[in-house]
Amino acid sequence: MTNPLLDFSGLPRFDEIRPEHVGPAIDHLLGQAEAAVKAAETVVPLSWERFVAPLDDATERLYRAWGQVGHLQAVMNTPALREAYNANLPKVTRFGSALGQNLVLFAQYRALAATPEAVHYDAARRKVLDNALRDFRLGGAELDEAGKARFSEIKEELSALSAKFSQNVLDATDAFALYVEDEKELAGLPAEVIAACRTAAQKEGRSGFKLTLQMPCYLPVQAYADNRALREQLYRASAIRASEFGDAALDNSSTINRILALRAELAALLGFDSYAAYSIATKMADHPSQVLAFLQDLADRAKPYAQRDREELETFARDALGLATLEAWDLGYASEKLKQARYSYSEQEVKQYFSEPAVLAGLFDVIQRLYGLQVQADTAPVWHEEVRFFRLVEADGTLVGQFYLDLYAREGKRGGAWMDDCRNRRDTPAGVQTPLVYLVCNFGRGADGKPATFTHNEVTTLFHEMGHGLHQLLTRVGELGVAGINGVEWDAVELPSQFMENFCWEWAHVQAMSAHVDSGEPLPRPLFDKLLAARNFQSGMFTVRQLEFALFDMQLHSGFDPARDSVLELLDRVRQAVAVNFPPAWSRFPHQFSHIFAGGYAAGYYSYKWAEVLSADAYAAFEETPGELAETGARFRAEVLARGGSRSAADNFQAFRGRAPAIEALLRHHGMGG
């Protein structure tokens, strides 16, 4: 099989996929999928095996291949691959739109749901049918022909704009470099960061040091660089990425306005009064007003704590650091100095104990203790030499699933951290198709022959993404449409990931996952106690910052008109209401807000805070039964992770917790009382 994108016999052949494979593979798979749709339109008599299964077969192959292309575009972006991706994106989008608007298929699904056979379907199949009927309506199937055509045009343009938004952010990030000759300019930076900057310069045949906007460089500069001018220079470069202040070809200003206008038009076509209302139709929440009330209530509770945090930081910065004004590029630096002064430790001191081999061993131990599963090293074709591959097995050796781990930042790789599915669980005539996922981070590499070390926040990020991965890997559902995170309400998707973060704060687990990069000694208990005491350091400021993003997102998609109002002015109004930190007027945060303009979080960013309510309350069940980790873990696996989208998230939570979620645990965990 010469085209690796057409090989579904085993693991993806990432080491062989080339840009020239994309077009022919997608055209071939689109042809198969379109033929399957035609065949499904005339299936009589209707049954799951004759109607749903063949459709799933064809569309799964298409989206698995396209998923591999999209993944490579995110982690190994090249001009040729980007060109191939952008050329094929409209074709895939058009197919998806046509599928969602196919009235004949809609009628077939309704007819299948009405058959005597359907009455006896299990919960997963019934949920697939319910979701399909809902999604046909949301996909424009009931529009007239002109409406369908316009809906498809909008979806296609939105796909292209989202890809362009993300690519602009990536290109603007990679385009920046600051070369420093004198090491004294880097005073305060950790030794491994300085070493990495020196290595980056040497790779280009230059002397001195190369600083970039990649997170392993940018974040330490903001937190540790004594050189205030250096902090400001990198802050400014980061804050104006993909805006009118840089390369005009990478300016996301018009892209943002166009995306918002198209989303509003799409929602109106379907009879919704806003894109937020359209988005919430597939979420746990009932209406945008309910979400806004939840966010405002949390803001009212959190803002007094945030104001106290800000006042303390201003006082410290003035009295201890001599900073008469606390600018945006001082926040990270002053906060780190205040933390060191108050708790007598630094993030860098702690970081030396979280060496990569120990952290991974500790993470895998938590999985074993919670769910009785073992993580074992495995082999697979990979897209970069640094990528590793693992298998997850039951105690008896039965394969549960496999995952890729891509930990380090590099040029051509999208920033941030994420999990994505490569292949979902599915029951087939040949047996169970096991799930396969990607876990991607952007950490710094080890230097001078030593393994990488992680900040505690990076350890938490790794646990977070593994939580997403376990949601996908531990599903017991055999129907594609509701296996893993498929069909799970978007505002509940973050529950398993945020739940996993809690184990980064338990002494037994932290001790097991730490080994000093030089001595191999575990994190000392007194240092952990300081880390724990500082857990809620500035939690008020952090909370209102997340609420700022969530309120901005929800208001942006609730009746906002870019033709009459300014995105930046809306963000300023939100900040005036809830924020305590105000960036300079030239900051262009929306131009880099990929979550809502290039990801799946449009009118859904609030889900991070709502899922915190769910995850804190779920973890409280473990706190209440401290001697029953395996037993409680088994219940969480069975009632939440294994169920996937085959049952509503509210029902999953009720089955695990015995009641509806409550906010008290979240407030307690954040040190904000009741």
The 388-393 sheet, strands edge to edge: 374-378, 388-393, 399-408, 436-443, 418-423
The strand pair at 374-378 and 388-393 is best described as antiparallel
Q: At what angle are helices 525-533 and 331-343 packed, to 10 degrees?
A: 130
Q: At what angle are helices 456-473 and 356-371 packed, to 10 degrees?
A: 40
Structure tokens belonging to residue 158: 């939105």
Question: How crowded is residue 536: how many other Cβ atoms within 10 Å of its Cβ?
Answer: 16
Cβ contact 342:530 at 8 Å: no
Cβ contact 156:95 at 8 Å: no
Q: Cα dist. 278→22, 46, 137, 286, 582 in Å?
A: 33, 31, 11, 11, 31
Closest CA to 649 of 641, 662, 135, 286: 641
Which residues carry out catalysis?
465
What is the Cα–Cα distance from 31 to 658, expressed in whole angstroms? Answer: 48
What is the Cα–Cα distance from 506 to 107, expressed in whole angstroms? Answer: 53
Question: What DSSP letter does each residue of 237-288 carry, written as one string?
Answer: HHHTTTSTTS-GGG--HHHHHHHHHHHHHHHHHTT-SSHHHHHHTTSS-S-H
First and final C-alpha spacing in the chain: 62
Question: How crowded is residue 444: how many other Cβ atoms within 10 Å of its Cβ?
Answer: 24
Q: Cα dist. 316→160, 306, 322, 394 in Å?
A: 47, 15, 9, 52
Q: Cα dist. 64→93, 379, 662 in Å?
A: 14, 20, 38
> Which helix or strand (DSSP H or E) is residue 483 part of?
none
What is the Cα–Cα distance from 179 to 197, expressed in whole angstroms? Answer: 9
> Which helix or strand (DSSP H or E) is residue 440 part of?
strand 436-443
Partners of 292 in beta bridges:
none
What is the Cα–Cα distance from 272 to 558, expressed in whole angstroms? Answer: 10
Question: How crowded is residue 663: how many other Cβ atoms within 10 Å of its Cβ?
Answer: 17
Structure tokens belonging to residue 264: 């509003």
The dihedrals phi and psi of 497, each to the nearest 5 degrees, come to: -75, -45
Contacts of 556 (CB under 8 A, 6+ apart): 260, 567, 570, 596
Task: Give the distance, in angstroms, between the CA of residue 640 and the centroid of all CA atoms in the same chain.
Answer: 19
DSSP code of 78?
A: -
SS3 track for 163-224: HHHHHHHHHHHHHCCEEECCHHHHCCCCHHHHHHHHHHHHHCCCCCEEECCCHHHHHHHHHH
Q: Cα dist. 552→423, 514, 572, 579, 602 in Å?
A: 34, 39, 9, 11, 11
Q: At what angle are helices 53-75 and 79-100 packed, to 10 degrees?
A: 150
